[in-house]
Structure 1
Amino acid sequence: MLARYDSDLHNHLESSTAFRGSSPDIQNELIHSVSELMTMEIKKEISKANYVSLILDETSDVMNKCQLASVLRYVTADGNVEERFLRFTDVSSDRSANSLFNHALEILNDFECGPKLIAQTYDGAAVMASQHAGVQAKIREQYPNAIFVHCYAHRLNLVLAQSASFIKEVKVFFATLSGFRTFLPSPQKGLKHWIPTLGKDFLLSHLLDGSTIADLLKLCMNTEKELRIFLCL
């Protein structure tokens, strides 16, 4: 599929006789090799940096697995501020403060930057931000200079969410949208009522697992007439 948009890749796949690189095993090995090289370069940069900050954030994927994103932010030797994404880690089995703290220590030890840590940034969840038992408190026990900063993006999101919650139309809109997300991926619950109105093709093309809020917004915009009929059932 990518070859349709990349002429070099297309020519390679069409003309190569010795190495095509289309095997899943080979592709995984290439990805792993690139990852190792990038990690080595990041470690070189961090070894020359004087100060480092740690950023952690959790997010759930379409399979409802909790993924922890790990990022290091630092100033390079030539004065540039860099943010380097390191990895996603599946923490679905244990999201306790101790488990996430151990993950943070693993990152700091792996990149040998613990003594340089001057800041840590997470969301405002108690498991991360608690002054006594949260991850930030445990980190400060090890590295006292690592001040905690509540992520500005999360703070802005909280302000906007709270502000919007006082606007009736906005509150109803997002409540309805959330209902779609819960209801639409489960067609078997009301299939006999849906198909006559929306049609089988509509269901197959739109009611798929893993729909995001953006997908649902597009669905509402592109199929307003059908949805109005459906909601009146």
Structure 2
Amino acid sequence: MSRPKTIDSFFKKKCASHSEVNSDTPLNRPLATDLNASVIDERPSKCPRILPEEIDATSLQRDPGKRPQIWEFPVNLQDEMRRAYLRAGPCQPILKPTEYPVSGPENHRRRFQASWFQTYSTWLEYSESKDAIFCHPCYIFAKKSTGRLGSDAFTVKGFKNWKKVNDGMNCPLMGHVGTDPNSPHKIAVKCCEDLKNYSRHIGKLIEKQSSQEIENNRLRLKTSIDSVRRLAFQACAFRGHDESSDSKNQGNFIKLIKFLATFNDKVDGVVLTNAPRNAKYTSPQIQKEILHIFATKVRDVIRKEIGDAKFCILVDEARDESKREQMAIILRFVDKDSFIRERFFHIVHVKDTTALTLKKKICDFLSCNDLKIQNIRGQGYDGGSNMRGEWNGLQALFLRECPYAYYVHCFAHKLQLALVAASR
């Protein structure tokens, strides 16, 4: 069974770490060539064995006829390669007209025209090795060829039929772009725009949503913490008999949260009915957990205040509404300014009120707070035989271990007995 989350764990930030690749995988093998050289293999059928997380656009294979296809790269690197080629832009080498190879019949020779780069500047690419043109967006988002005729003309094979390039609507370049808004070329262009728009990436959207959720949770929890602190400081009851939405009195805790929400619109927007059902932070368990954290902090301050000084213990027990015996422990000591202080330290549940049980609970509690029994210089209990018994009472058991822990009858109990006798 998984361990339940606590309030403390809510504030602990989880540091996201990148997954490490095993040293035996191809991605961690060193390049045979210098990293300043091209990271892309000259052979178009193979992918590089290693790729940095941020690909340098100047190190890419720019010739469309030599570069590998995007779908040949590992899946986890394909988007990074797409971004790198988008940053690099289309490959458009400007050569002298006579430097472009000629093709066609002897009486009507044709060649690539550099002026086409101006007409189709956003996507047209030229490969000097293949003397063919390619489409930059279609290459970036191309999928593995299906074998259909012409499906990879502008991505893998290259187009080099210059016969009708300037023939109006019959131009194969115009036909590649298409008039339909859902043409493969226009879809690829739209995908490139989305890839460049980082704010629309799903990871960014999830991160933004998570950040807002964390902010709301913190504000909601802070409201509950402030309410608990105020009620505890004023020693007020937290819960009412009926905390349902139809109740006329839902208790101090819920009412105080509603009161705080009336003064702050941000708080009002995230608490109670506006909070998710699994993160309201108003349940009795959450209230007790917050109180436990406060109590721990207070005990730490009291413990530092005592230091290594001598102290006295004042102990009394009573039965609560659930018929369970609860033992209250109060420490009396002299602080560093020579003032006598009495601090309520803790309430401990005991299964019975025998002297041995009470002593064991007190010793365990003092040991947990690094308070030595040998430093006890006084004991204050009521007049019950289990407490003041001369031979087997609680005070006698402590005197055997610490002879300076003198017993003094509790003055509060003496006053109570006097008032009861007088009233009778």
Asked if these proteins are the same fold (TM beyond 0.5), I'd say yes
Q: Is 1:94–2:352 an aligned residue pair?
A: yes
- Where 1:149 maps in the other structure, the secondary structure is strand
Q: Distance in 2 between matches of 1:70 and 1:157?
A: 19
Per the alignment, residue 323 of structure 2 pairs with: 64
Structure 2 residue runs of 5 or longer lacking an equivalent are 1-250
Query: What are the equivalent positions in structure 2 for 1:22-41 lying under 5 Å apart?
Result: 22-41=282-301
Per the alignment, residue 150 of structure 1 pairs with: 409
Q: In structure 1, what residue type is equivalent to 2:363? A: L
Q: Is 1:164–2:423 an aligned residue pair?
A: yes
Q: Distance in 2 between matches of 1:74 and 1:159?
A: 27
Q: Is the 8 A contact 2:325 2:352 kept in 1?
A: no
Per the alignment, residue 223 of structure 1 pairs with: none
Q: Distance in 2 between matches of 1:150 and 1:22?
A: 43
Per the alignment, residue 21 of structure 1 pairs with: 281
TM-score w.r.t. the length of structure 1 is 0.61
Q: Distance in 2 between matches of 1:155 and 1:121?
A: 12
Partner residue of 1:43 out of 292, 303, 309 = 303
Q: Is 1:117–2:376 an aligned residue pair?
A: yes
Structure 1 residue runs of 5 or longer lacking an equivalent are 166-233
Q: Distance in 2 between matches of 1:152 and 1:77?
A: 26
Q: In structure 2, what residue type is equivalent to 1:34? A: F
1:107, distance to aligned residue in structure 2 (A):
2.8
Q: In structure 1, what residue type is equivalent to 2:365? A: I
What is the aligned residue count? 163
Q: In structure 2, what residue type is equivalent to 1:61? A: D
Query: What are the equivalent positions in structure 2 for 1:172-183 lying under 5 Å apart?
Result: none
Q: Distance in 1 between matches of 2:415 and 2:401?
A: 30
Q: Distance in 2 between matches of 1:20 and 1:13?
A: 12
Q: Is the 8 A contact 1:52 1:113 kept in 2?
A: no
Say which structure is richer in strand: 1
- Where 1:44 maps in the other structure, the secondary structure is helix
Q: Is the 8 A contact 1:122 1:149 kept in 2?
A: yes
Q: Distance in 2 between matches of 1:13 and 1:129?
A: 54
TM-score w.r.t. the length of structure 2 is 0.35
Say which structure is richer in helix: 1
- Where 2:391 maps in the other structure, the secondary structure is coil
Judged with a 3 Å threshold, the aligned counterparts in structure 2 of structure 1 residues 22 and 13 are, in CA distance, closer, same or farther, namely farther
1:70, distance to aligned residue in structure 2 (A):
1.1
Q: Deviations over 1:54-79 (max 9, x none)?
A: 01101121232221111111122123
Q: Which runs of 4+ in 1 moved over 6 A?
A: none
**Identity between Structure 1 and Structure 2 (%):** 29
Q: Is 1:107–2:361 an aligned residue pair?
A: no
Q: Is the 8 A contact 2:315 2:380 kept in 1?
A: yes
- Where 1:119 maps in the other structure, the secondary structure is strand
Tell me the C-alpha RMSD between the 2 structures: 2.5
- Where 1:22 maps in the other structure, the secondary structure is coil
1:124, distance to aligned residue in structure 2 (A):
0.2
Query: What are the equivalent positions in structure 2 for 1:183-198 lying under 5 Å apart?
Result: none
Q: Is the 8 A contact 2:374 2:401 kept in 1?
A: no
Q: Distance in 2 between matches of 1:158 and 1:87?
A: 25
Judged with a 3 Å threshold, the aligned counterparts in structure 2 of structure 1 residues 135 and 162 are, in CA distance, closer, same or farther, namely same
**Higher RCO (C-alpha under 8 Å, 6+ residues apart):** 1
Q: In structure 1, what residue type is equivalent to 2:294? A: V
Q: Is the 8 A contact 2:315 2:330 kept in 1?
A: yes
Q: Deviations over 1:178-212 (max 9, x none)?
A: xxxxxxxxxxxxxxxxxxxxxxxxxxxxxxxxxxx
